[in-house]
Structure 1
Amino acid sequence: MVFLGYHASHEQLPPSALLRAVVDAERAGFDGAMCSDHLAPWGVRQGESGFAWSWLGAALASTSFSIGVVNAPGQRYHPAVIAQAIATLEEMFPDRFWAVLGSGEAMNEHVTADPWPPKDERNARLDESIDVIRRLLDGDEVTHDGLVRVHRARVWSLPATPPPLLGAAVSAETAGWLAGRVDGLATVAQDPAALRRVVDAYRSGGGEGPCVLQVHVSLAETDAAALALAEDQWPNGLIGPPRAWDFDQPEDFDAAVADPDEGELRKAVLVDSDAAALAERIAELAGIGFDRVYVHHVGKDQGAFLDRAAADLLPALRRIL
């Protein structure tokens, strides 16, 4: 049975509205949730970006299912701070929290005014950060002098067991590099052949734990309405790496997709008016080798989407998966 989760997009809703949405997602029948961790939205029209770690405490206290977060330690966040945040949430909500660690995007990290490193250096920095975080979650006192620097750090309030630390990858190369370093893999929907290469690279490299897929969807009463939502709220989906890593302002994304190609947008976002047909498309991606699928509806009206998810989408998915 594939785990069916809900993705809470901090870039699109005020934190208070997103909190109501994640509560409603549990009522709708989703198995769990995950959220983004951004300082800025992907585009100006998205218009929001609440602080994920404050929100996570409220969200976990208001629900009973598991919730994870995608985080980039090493520049905007010192790894010792992230280790303490992870430990606190897991201590308060045992076995319900997990984190995905990635190398980040300039749009969130540039605010420190430190230079934005090339990808190989960002990966090396992530590797050091994962090691520091794991050691701190094990209760060690950590001193480290490398791409990240730590002086006699210790996390005092620890959970009984450290939560899973997954790794984020879009490319097969990064997925293979993460194998053996993390407790699972998280990626985002793309061309099925590319997704298959990502999963294969992780598993063939000895990667263990769950493979997690985030899928962007736009579900509305008509195809035209669903497409309009995708065009308004998620044209940034057309910007893949490396450009997506290196833009540092929402306006940069908006300028790059000022006139989005409909065919390409439909590849980045599953646009549909038929919940059963959408379920088939999601299930096809899940069948590539994913244990968990987190669905992100790109429209701002999460209430309408969650009503349809409860009535049609989730039942259809559970019949298939």
Structure 2
Amino acid sequence: MPVIGHHCSHEQISPRQLLADVQHAERVGFTAGMSSDHLVPWSERQGESGFAWSWLGAALATTDLPFGVVNAPGQRYHPAIIAQAMATLGQMFPGRFWAALGSGEASNERVTGDGWPRKSIRDERLRECVGVIRRLLAGEEVSHDGHVTADRAQLWTLADPVPHLVGPAVTPGTAARHADWADGLITVNQPVQRLRDVLTAYRDAGGRGPARLQVHLSWAPTEDAALAIAHDQWRSNVVGPPISWDVDTVAGFDAISEHITPEQVRGSVLVSHEPAQHVEWLQEYLELGYDELYLHFVGQDQHDYLETFGEHVLPALSPTPPADTPSPGPSTEETR
């Protein structure tokens, strides 16, 4: 049975409302939650960006859902701080928390004033951060000198079980590179063949754990309204890498998306006013082998969407809570 989760977009919704929304999502039948982690939104029209880590404590305490977060350690966040945050949430809410660790976007990371490294360096930095975080979560004292530096770092509060470290990937190549360290995979909705290739690359390289898929979608009572929501809120996200990695201001994203048409947004967002069509799309993703789907309705007012999907979409998919997953790890030696 699949896990159907609710994605919580801090870029679009205030933390107070986002907490009410995820509680609503649990009531209507969603079985997991996932959170973004941004310093800035993708557009002035989105207009929010709460601090994910304090919000996650509230969300875990006021629901029974397991949660994941997408995070970029190495520049805005030192990996020791992320390890401490993960260990604390994992200790308070055992087995209910995971983090997907990526190489980040300039729009969030340039706040430190440090230079924005080229992608190959960011990938090396991420792998170092994964090694530092995994060793800290295991209780080791860690010193490290490389793209990141740690001096006798150690966590005194540990989680049991250790929270899983998940590899985010959009391309098959990235999925394969993550396979030797990740406890699971997460990607975003793309053409079906591309999603098949990403998952196959991860599994063929030895990747273990759940395969998760974040699904950007838009629903409203009419097709025109659903498309208008998607165009207003998500057209800044239609431009993919490397542009999305390297543009470093909200104004820049709004400028490059100024001429994106509503029909172009359909390439990145599943748009339909028909719940049955959403069921069909989601069922196809499950048939590809994805274990957990995290639905991101790209509108800011979530109420009617949650009610409609709770009544017409979730029952058709029979969602369940996540099953027990394998112990995390490669060994700490392998990720140093």
TM-score in terms of structure 1 length: 0.97
Q: Which runs of 5+ in 1 are unaligned?
A: none
SS in 2 for 1:45: coil
Q: Which runs of 5+ in 2 are unaligned?
A: 320-336
- TM-superposed CA distance for 1:257, in Å, is 1.2
Whether 1:71 and 2:58 are equivalent positions in the alignment is no
Query: For 1:215 and 1:94, how far apart are their aligned partners in 2?
Result: 26
2:91 counterpart letter in structure 1 = E
Aligned residues: 319
Does the CA contact (< 8 Å) of 2:2 and 2:317 recur in 1? no
- CA-based RMSD of the aligned residues comes to 1.0
> In structure 2, what is the equivalent of residue 17 of structure 1?
17
1:266-318 Cα shifts (integer Å, max 9, x gaps): 12000010111111012212322211000000011111111111111111233
> In structure 1, what is the equivalent of residue 98 of structure 2?
98
- TM-superposed CA distance for 1:236, in Å, is 2.1
Does the CA contact (< 8 Å) of 2:5 and 2:34 recur in 1? yes
Query: For 2:193 and 2:23, how far apart are their aligned partners in 1?
Result: 35
> In structure 1, what is the equivalent of residue 333 of structure 2?
none
- TM-superposed CA distance for 1:172, in Å, is 1.1
Does the CA contact (< 8 Å) of 1:11 and 1:47 recur in 2? yes
> In structure 1, what is the equivalent of residue 197 of structure 2?
197
Does the CA contact (< 8 Å) of 2:33 and 2:66 recur in 1? yes
Whether 1:240 and 2:244 are equivalent positions in the alignment is no
1:213-257 Cα shifts (integer Å, max 9, x gaps): 000010100000000000100102311111111111111111111
> In structure 2, what is the equivalent of residue 230 of structure 1?
230
> In structure 1, what is the equivalent of residue 44 of structure 2?
44
Does the CA contact (< 8 Å) of 2:180 and 2:205 recur in 1? yes
Does the CA contact (< 8 Å) of 1:80 and 1:136 recur in 2? yes
Query: For 1:62 and 1:38, how far apart are their aligned partners in 2?
Result: 22
> In structure 1, what is the equivalent of residue 326 of structure 2?
none
Greater RCO structure (CA 8 Å; 6+ sep): 2
> In structure 2, what is the equivalent of residue 88 of structure 1?
88
Query: For 1:317 and 1:246, how far apart are their aligned partners in 2?
Result: 38
After superposition, where does 1:144-183 map in structure 2 within 5 Å?
144-183=144-183
Query: For 1:95 and 1:106, how far apart are their aligned partners in 2?
Result: 32
SS in 2 for 1:20: helix
Does the CA contact (< 8 Å) of 1:237 and 1:269 recur in 2? no
SS in 1 for 2:312: helix
- TM-superposed CA distance for 1:118, in Å, is 1.0
- TM-superposed CA distance for 1:264, in Å, is 2.5
Does the CA contact (< 8 Å) of 2:186 and 2:211 recur in 1? yes
2:26 counterpart letter in structure 1 = E
SS in 2 for 1:267: coil
SS in 1 for 2:299: coil
1:151-204 Cα shifts (integer Å, max 9, x gaps): 000010111221111011111111110011110011111111211111111111
1:47-76 Cα shifts (integer Å, max 9, x gaps): 000000000000000001101100000000
TM-score in terms of structure 2 length: 0.93
SS in 1 for 2:69: strand
Does the CA contact (< 8 Å) of 1:68 and 1:100 recur in 2? yes
1:228 counterpart letter in structure 2 = A
Does the CA contact (< 8 Å) of 1:217 and 1:298 recur in 2? yes
Query: For 1:317 and 1:229, how far apart are their aligned partners in 2?
Result: 25
Query: For 1:83 and 1:45, how far apart are their aligned partners in 2?
Result: 33
Query: For 1:265 and 1:160, how far apart are their aligned partners in 2?
Result: 42
SS in 1 for 2:30: coil
> In structure 1, what is the equivalent of residue 132 of structure 2?
132
Poorly superposed stretches of 4+, deviation over 2 Å: 261-264, 316-319
Query: For 1:300 and 1:160, how far apart are their aligned partners in 2?
Result: 36
Query: For 1:242 and 1:205, how far apart are their aligned partners in 2?
Result: 25
